[in-house]
Every structure is written in C-alpha cells, then in structure tokens.
Chains A and B, each alone.
Chain A
Amino acid sequence: MIPASFEYRRAGSVEEALGWLAEDPDSTKLLAGGHSLLPLMKLRLATPGVLVDVGRIPGLNYVRDDGDHVAIGALTRHRDLEVSDVARGHVPLLAHVAGQVGDPQVRHRGTIGGSLAHGDPASDLPAAVLALDGTMVVDGPRGRREVQAADFFRGFLETALAPDEMLTEVRVHKAPAGWGFQKFNRRAQDWAIVGVAAVVNGDARVALVNMGPTTLRARATEEALDAGANIADAAARAAEGLDPPSDLNGSAEYRRHLATVLVRRALEEATAARG
C-alpha cells in the first residue's frame, strides 16, 4: 500500500501542466481527485515517475449553461455535478449518475475529467456522457481539439487522449427528459456489475457499463428501436455481439442476462420520464 517512489509537481495552470507532461509524457500522469490513480499506484499496478497534480488549477470546476449544451469543467467534482442546478435542470441524467459514483468520499474527491480520462469500462460517468453524445475538449501541445464521446473510449483504460494531452472540458447536449439509468451492484459503493444509461429523444442512445473492455453502446438494441421494435424486444438484444468480462461478481453469461433486464428497465424509465 506504499506506492513506488515518484516525483510530485503541483501545476498552477493548464499550460504549466502541459509543459511538464511534454517533458516525459509516457512516465508522467496527471493527478486530479486521485480516486482511480492512487489505488493503482498503491498496489504498484501504476508506477509513474512524475505526478502532475492538476487539482488546484483555477477555473476548471464549473457547470455552465452554454445555450444548446451544458459545459462542465474537467475538475468538477462528482458531488458538485450532482447538486448543480444547471445539471439537474438540463442534463438530469448526468447529475443523477454523478450521485451514484462510489461513496460520498469518492464523490467529494473524484472529478468528471479524471473519471472520463481514466477510461474504466466499469465507471458510470463515461456511459452517461456516451449516452448523451458528449464532446470532450482536449488541450495539448498541438493546440485544442474536440473529440466525440463515441470516438473517445478506445479500450480497457484507453482513450483518445494522447499521453501529452489533457482533458479540460466536457460538453453535453441538453436532455431535460427522456433518460434512464440502471446500476446493478452488490453494495451501494461498488462499481456496477452492469450499468445502463439510456437517452430517448427521438432516437435512442443506450450506453453500457462493464459489458466489455470499454464503455459501449448497445447497438443491436438501438437498431431494433430505430426499426420500430418495442422496448422488451429491443432490450432482449442488449448483449448481442458483446463479450463482457467474467469476474468474482458475475460471469459473462450473467452479465449478458443482466444487460437485457437493465436495458429494458432503463428504457422504460426513459420513456416514462418523457411521457
């Protein structure tokens, strides 16, 4: 539980953090809330040489109404998102999901940027942002770029972020109604065994937690809904083409079954809420 030796630097600005990151991107990690990275370091599963603490960079903790979308600063803590009036009013899915992450201690320390950049398929917020078709704002030595959520989550703990880039903002379209979220776990504080975030506004986007190496869309379900299938029939296809993990909390077979039940429930929630 003692991490390997590392150098700690506290960044005062995004520019300073990016400058340090550029010095040795492969052995430098950004530290925000620390609730994903530090446990990995304590188990020595991660051994970065340099830790750049971005947690005190001013101006990156906000939830802002930007007209047709809501912009969220990367250092916004889960708890701040959960209680934000802007989030509750315009993207209640995101506020709700932020309130489901881990336990109160995690929610008061963890940040949305950290959660998305970590790219853990078992995390809740990536699925919510994927269901909301969000956009990631990324800064780096080659300037600023925007990445769609659909292109952001690449693989297990792997995102579209280059080692020298930093996620600074998340933008999501307003979706005040038509959403559902289902999280299935054994203890309230745990990661989801399977989770589902659904947004139904004309078309339907259904994102899955812990059903593969990365945060995924339930494409077969979405296609069935587009083709006019009812919720039950569409949900029955939730696990099609997916290869979920087997672990102590559930076998792949059980996860496939859970996905069908939870997708149905999430879609029922979404349509009831809209209705």
Chain B
Amino acid sequence: MSATMTEDTPAKGVVGTRMLRREDPALLSGEARYVHDLVVPGALHMAVVRSPYAHARVTSVDVSGALGMPGVAAAFSGADLAGEWGSAMPCAWPVTADMQSPPHFPVALNEACYVGDAVAVVLAGSQAEAQDAAGAVAVVYEELPAAVDLEDAASDRVLAHSDLSSNRAYTWELTPDADAVTRAFDAAAVTVKERYVQQRLIPAAMEPRGVCVVPQPFGGEYLVYSATQIPHILRTMLGITAGVPEERIRVVAPSVGGGFGSKLDVYAEELLCLVLSRRLRKPVRWSEERSEAAQATIHGRGQVQEIELAADTDGRVQAVRVRLLADMGAYMQLVTPGVPLLGAFLYHGVYDVAAYSFTCTGVFTNKTPTDAYRGAGRPEATYAIERAMDALARKVGTDPAEVRRRNFIGADKFPYASAAGLLFDSGNYEGALDAALELVDYEGLREEQARRRGQGASKLLGVGLSSYVEMCGLAPSRVLASLNYVAGGWEAATVRMLPTGKVQVVTGATPHGQGHVTSWSMIIADKLGVSPEDVEVLHSDTAVSPLGLDTYGSRSLAVGGTAIALAADRLIDKARLLAAHRLEVAPEDLELSSGQFSVRGSPSSAMALGALAFEAFTAHDLPQGMEPNLEASATYDPTNFTFPFGTHVAVVEVDAETGKVDLVRYSAVDDCGNQINPLIVDGQVHGGIVQGVAQALFEEAVYDDDGNLLTTTFTDYLVPAASEVPSFSLGRTVTPSPSNPLGVKGIGEAGTIASTPAVVNAVVDALSHLGVVDIAMPVTPERVWRSIGAAAPGTGGGR
C-alpha cells in the first residue's frame, strides 16, 4: 500500500504538514458568530416550561398567568400546538421491525416522561421576559411512579410510559454461529465473566444549543439557524415533522461550538421555533442554558454490560459472548436505538476470536433520552473487552501486554473477516502496542511499581493498557440498509475553479470544531497546485451545499474528504481535455505538476490550471461539446468502514490513604492511516483522551431515586480541565486504509474510545496486589478508598 494520494500529487505538498488551522483566528479572536450572537430584529424569545417530575400525568396547563406578564406575546400548552405537527418527532433507526417507540412530541400532550420534558412554551420580547413569564405558567401534575434504574426498568416493575406494555423497546442479536459459541464455552479451560456499568454522560459541548427561525417575508419560506451538526438531515426531518415542504426550509449552521454527537439530532426546540414562527409570522429564537442543556440535550452511554470470554490455559480467547441493557431514556431520539449497534461488532476488540455472540435490549427509563456521544457504541465495546482482557490476564497469571500479544489479529491477516461479520481493512496491532510500550518505558514502570509495593509506599503506581480498533467512516449505504437505518452514508462535494484561479469547495460535511476548512484546503492545494489560502470552503448552509449527510462518526475525512478528492480529479480530467485542445496534443501526453499541465518531453509547452479556468470561463475556445467553466462534483459512497487502531497506556498514582487517583503519565500510539494534518490529529487525540479520562475518573449524570437529575451545573458535573491531566506522549504508526483513495481512516473518536479502559485498568492495576479487581466509573476517590478497605481490611481503607 502506498502513502501517496494519486499519481499526480506533487512530491512536496502541504498534505502531511502541521499547518495551523485556518479556522482559528476567527474562533480565538471572538470574530466567529454563533446562533446566540445573531441579531434578528423583532424576534420573539422562547422559554420552555419543563416538567419537574420524572413521570407525571399533565392534568392541566394554564398559560393565562404568563400572558399577563411584561413583554409576553404568546404562550402555548402541548394541546394548543397539537395541530401543528405533521408527525411525531423522528427516529431514523428502528433497529428491529417490532421496536417500540412511543410517540414523542415537542411539547408533551398528556404525560411528561422525564425531568425536563417540555409541557409549555412562552414567547416574549426578550429572553429575560420569557423566562420570568415561564414561571407564571400553572401546570397541574399527577405524579406517577418513575422507572429510574436501568435494570429495574428492564424488569417492568414500573412502566416509563403508561401506554407501553413493557419498557423493553427491542432486543437485537448478532450471533452468526450459536453452536460455535456454545462449543467454545463448553470446551474452555478458562472463562471470564465480567459486569460493567457505563454511566450516563452529559456531552457538555462548549456552546449549548441554540435555534433561530426567521420566516421570509414572501413565499412562506423559513431560514433556520441552528447550532447543529446536521443541517441537511435537519432540513429533511423538519419538513416531515412540521409539515413544511422541504424546499421552503433553508438550514444554516453558523459557527458551532462542538457537539460530540449531541447536536446530531432533531430536537423539540428546533421544531418549536419553526412552527411558532409559522404561527406567529415572526422570527422565533431560543438559546439553551447550561443547566437546561444538562436535562434537555441528549445524554451518552448508559449501559449495563455483561461480557464473557472463553479461553485456553494460555489465555488465548476462543469466544466472546456479550449481553447488554441499553438505557434509551424516555424517548427515541434520532439514532438512540442504533447506538449500541455501532459497538455490536467490536466486542472482540483487536483479537482473533472464532466465535461471537452479542445481544442488546434497549430499555425505556424516565430520564433524558440518550443518543450518540463521542464514539457511540465503540467506547462501550472497547471498555468491556479491554477490561475483560485484563481480568483474563490476572486469571491466567500473565502480564496484560502479553495476553494481548497472544490474541492479536496478526498483521498478515488483513483484510480480516471477523466472526462478527466485518471486514477489517488494514492493521498492525502488535506494532502499535510495541511502540506504545516503548514510549512509556513499560519495563521501567513495572520495576518501579514492584519497588513501591515492596517499600509499602503510600503512593501506589498503576499501569493500564488499552488496545483498540474502531469502525468509522460512516458508512456504506448498503450496510446501513442491512442495519435498518433509514438513510445512506455517502457524502457529496463540488470543486469549482473561479476565473482568477481561486478555488471554491462545497462540502456536505458540516464542521463544528474539527478543522474541515483547513483539511479540505490542504487536499485541494496539493491536487490543484494552489495555496491553501486560495481555497474557499463552503459548508453548513443547505442553500449553498444542498446535498450532504453531515459530520459524525469520524466520517468526514474518509467519506467527505474522499468526495472532495474525487471531485478535484474530475475537474482535473476536464482541464486536461481543455489543455490538450489548446496545446494541440493528446490528453495522455500531458502531465500535471504543481498546478501546471505540460507536454511530456517538451516542458516549455504548458498551461497552468488557473489559466485554463479563465479559458473555461470565457468559453471562447473550448473543445467541441465541452461545457464552460471548471467545475466538478462527486458523491462518494464508501465501500467499507475504516478501522483505526492503536494502543494507549495510562500511568496513575493512587494515594492509598485518601483514594485519590493522579494520572501522571499517558502515552498514545494511534494509527489513523494517512494523515492530512498531523497537528489536527494531535488535537483530536488530546481532546479525545481527556473526554475518555472524564468518563473514567470524573463525569456522571447522577439521578436520585425519584428521577431528578442532580448534576445540572459544572459544580456537580465534573468536566476535567487541563490541570487534571498530564502532558501526553503521542506516537503514530501509519497503515493506510485500502478502502479509499486517500488511504485515511478517521481520528475524531479514537482518543475517547481508547482512554477510558486504559485509565480504569491502571487504577485496578495499582491496587491489584490488594485484591481489587474492579471499581465502578467514575473512579472517585471515595470509591477507591472503599475498594481498598473492602479488599484489604485493616489497611485503613473504608468499608
């Protein structure tokens, strides 16, 4: 496999360099404009009245008190708006034919099903007036029992919706060969059975959500500004759900301050602003508050996992069997039921396993709906297998690195057809492990650990490994069809060379922090021989970029970037024909280098692409039948997922007296195939690691027994900052993907996927000599202290 991108790529280009991001000056100087920054004269501000009960019948809603408040223009209950909807809110992933999905309306009609479920809206001249008036809406509730705990909800002791017969929404199974699994477990010399809880997480993007819908004065059209990852999908879904013809909706995502999956959704507030602007013929806007975001924006994770390994006495794994309960929350949002399926194929991790079984049951609870959150299914899968591999290592008395080595899919086995049914594109798992162990000085750490244990030191050292593979580049449309997803996985692009030789790129991928503008500019710069600064990247506006499937699942480069490259190749093909015409040679006699076509063997006879663009624009002398202008489009539907991989190593110090865990060192070796901009890759890895560390040590959406969310501010929901992590040691191996012409894989989620089990494995490793084998996430100081006390009574730890 070659690392070069195409035969025409100049040897010295910008691809592969650490170019500073073109996006950053506007973001760092405050010039970037987010939805909340937009000045829209005459707009009404919406405030949402939300249920304070996890489960309640809404007996009556009286908005008259609000209507008398200063500045209030209107107020509505769910019943008042019932006629506005073309359909209930969308779920695009009915994973089974018999999946239960109770109708979900932007404002609840009769029953509120989680704390934060909307029961009324108030519109006023300012945000402050709307919020003041929201407190004057009188709602009478009849409180109902709430299904809060996931496993309790699965028992159907309490129903989360009064019109459901069971909280179990669906059961989805992937067991290609049940007999093989049974045989493997019957024959296994060693088995491991572990139970892990994936706590709920609050995505906490830096910018909360925001919507502003401006009805256009003539023609019944709507301009929808939304802090969304998915303007294209949103447009279609708004059309269906609000009953507005799709072509009358234009969605613009201005600067968007992060999403992590939480803005990969169609939300009640987006629909409300649209239908209320239609009803009132005025712009309607809403800006989410931080505590509101904790309740009204989707949560991530929320699973109880049971994983079993069947192995021989050397720790070679023969079979993996997994059963999940997945917390849907109160309703199905856009892809809620499908999130576990994104991990369903990966519970054997990077290991060569012959027999495989996965079953997941989705369960409704009276809590905020869950949905995709950075990694979506793959962090959960990686956590389970990587924790279980450490358990296996303990059981067979082998070092965790060695047990991984014994089980890796060999570098010579790619493309590798997995027992779960995937075709892993390329990989060298042992190479990444070796590099990571060397980077962190694994042998030295083990010696230091033994020394401290021998001395009875109060600061215990722990080393945790996590070898991962994930699937991204979502996704081949045919595969999505087989998983019952209602859309495809392609991406669209247009490349246009303007008369002055500048380049416009139109992309259907929608950046919200990833650096698409920089990366796309770099790809185009090398393809067309222009400077990256001469490339304008247009995105995130359905009027400018009408076709696209947006940004999530580490798909943008592998799918959207490939579409850009293919469109550029088509533009070059056209330019080549024009150049051949003007230079009076055959097209195949021309070679392209640094944006210039020259005749082979006669380099003085040449034409630059910029000049050809001008010729194509004037159209004074084009070949017979050629259309004017240099422009080409491509829509790329990937043939396979891509499979990034790597090994992360976390090193922790545990204060045996207090239980405090300090992450003192962290090394990550990732392989995302070819890199367009290693600086951007570093940034994704940094942020990803911290987000995974957050799950391991800090973050949890905590509910009380009545279903009240207790972590609604950053005082209680602990998002780690730079002060909580060490400087990371990063390494990279490069195994290009054969699945796309760029040879790229994706890196947006890898850090999050890898780091959580590495950190928890490190903490357990630090305490393993005391007999500790597991600590629930987040691994809080108190939990560590209690684990020490429970494992080794008399050592001073708590009970």
Interface positions of A (Cβ within 8 A of B): 1-2, 4-5, 43, 103, 184, 186-191, 193, 248-251, 253-254, 257-258, 261-262
B131 touches A251 (CB 8 A): no
Q: What 10 pairs across the A-B complex have the smallest Cβ distances? A: A188-B723, A1-B289, A254-B782, A2-B128, A261-B657, A250-B782, A2-B131, A248-B716, A187-B724, A187-B718
Q: Quick check: is B377 within 8 A (CB to CB) of the other chain?
A: no
B291 touches A248 (CB 8 A): no
A188 touches B721 (CB 8 A): yes
The residue in A250, A251, A257 that gathers the most chain B C-beta atoms within 10 A of its C-beta is A257
B658 touches A187 (CB 8 A): no
- Give the distance in Å from the alpha carbon of A273 to the alpha carbon of B798 in the complex: 31
- Give the distance in Å from the alpha carbon of A191 to the alpha carbon of B720 in the complex: 14
B780 touches A186 (CB 8 A): yes
Partner of B721, one of A2, A189, A193, A254: A189
B658 touches A258 (CB 8 A): yes
A190 touches B798 (CB 8 A): no
B718 touches A186 (CB 8 A): yes
Q: A187-B698, A261-B657 are in contact. Are A4 and B132 (CB under 8 A)?
A: yes
Which chain A residues border B715 with CB–CB below 8 Å? 190-191
Q: A248-B702, A250-B781 are in contact. Are A189 and B710 (CB under 8 A)?
A: no
A186 touches B658 (CB 8 A): no
B721 touches A187 (CB 8 A): yes
Which chain B residues border A43 with CB–CB below 8 Å? 291, 713
- Nearest B residue (CB) for A193: B781
- Nearest B residue (CB) for A1: B289
Interface residues in B704-759 by Cβ distance below 8 A to A read 710-711, 713, 715-716, 718, 720-721, 723-724
- Nearest A residue (CB) for B655: A261
Q: Quick check: is B222 within 8 A (CB to CB) of the other chain?
A: no
B723 touches A189 (CB 8 A): yes
- Give the distance in Å from the alpha carbon of A257 to the alpha carbon of B718 in the complex: 22
Partner of B798, one of A187, A189, A257: A257
**Other A-B pairs beyond A257-B785, A258-B658, 17, CB < 8 Å:** A2-B128, A2-B131, A4-B132, A5-B128, A184-B658, A184-B781, A186-B698, A188-B721, A188-B723, A190-B715, A190-B718, A191-B715, A193-B781, A248-B710, A248-B716, A250-B782, A254-B786
B127 touches A188 (CB 8 A): no
Which chain B residues border A190 with CB–CB below 8 Å? 715, 718
Q: A1-B289, A1-B290, A187-B718 are in contact. Are A251 and B782 (CB under 8 A)?
A: yes
* B169 shortest CB reach to chain A, Å: 30
Which chain A residues border B716 with CB–CB below 8 Å? 248
Q: Quick check: is B200 within 8 A (CB to CB) of the other chain?
A: no
Q: Quick check: is B660 within 8 A (CB to CB) of the other chain?
A: yes
Which chain A residues border B724 with CB–CB below 8 Å? 187-188
A–B pairs, 5, beta carbons within 8 Å:
A2-B128, A186-B718, A187-B698, A190-B715, A251-B782
Which chain A residues border B291 with CB–CB below 8 Å? 1, 43
Which chain A residues border B782 with CB–CB below 8 Å? 249-251, 254
B781 touches A186 (CB 8 A): yes
Which chain A residues border B128 with CB–CB below 8 Å? 2, 5
- Nearest A residue (CB) for B720: A187
- Give the distance in Å from the alpha carbon of A254 to the alpha carbon of B782 in the complex: 7
* B540 shortest CB reach to chain A, Å: 27
B723 touches A254 (CB 8 A): no
- Nearest A residue (CB) for B702: A248
Which chain B residues border A1 with CB–CB below 8 Å? 289-291
Which chain A residues border B698 with CB–CB below 8 Å? 186-187
Which chain B residues border A189 with CB–CB below 8 Å? 721, 723
Partner of A184, one of B660, B713, B720: B660
Which chain A residues border B781 with CB–CB below 8 Å? 184, 186, 193, 250, 254
Partner of A254, one of B131, B702, B711, B785: B785
Which chain A residues border B723 with CB–CB below 8 Å? 187-189
- Give the distance in Å from the alpha carbon of A186 to the alpha carbon of B784 in the complex: 13
Annotate B110-152 by CB proximity to A: 1 below 8 A, 0 otherwise. Answer: 0000000000000000011001100000000000000000000
* A99 shortest CB reach to chain B, Å: 13
* A146 shortest CB reach to chain B, Å: 34
- Give the distance in Å from the alpha carbon of A248 to the alpha carbon of B658 in the complex: 16
- Give the distance in Å from the alpha carbon of A186 to the alpha carbon of B657 in the complex: 15
- Give the distance in Å from the alpha carbon of A258 to the alpha carbon of B786 in the complex: 12
Partner of B711, one of A188, A248, A262: A248
The residue in A184, A186, A262 that gathers the most chain B C-beta atoms within 10 A of its C-beta is A186
- Nearest B residue (CB) for A122: B715
B798 touches A253 (CB 8 A): yes
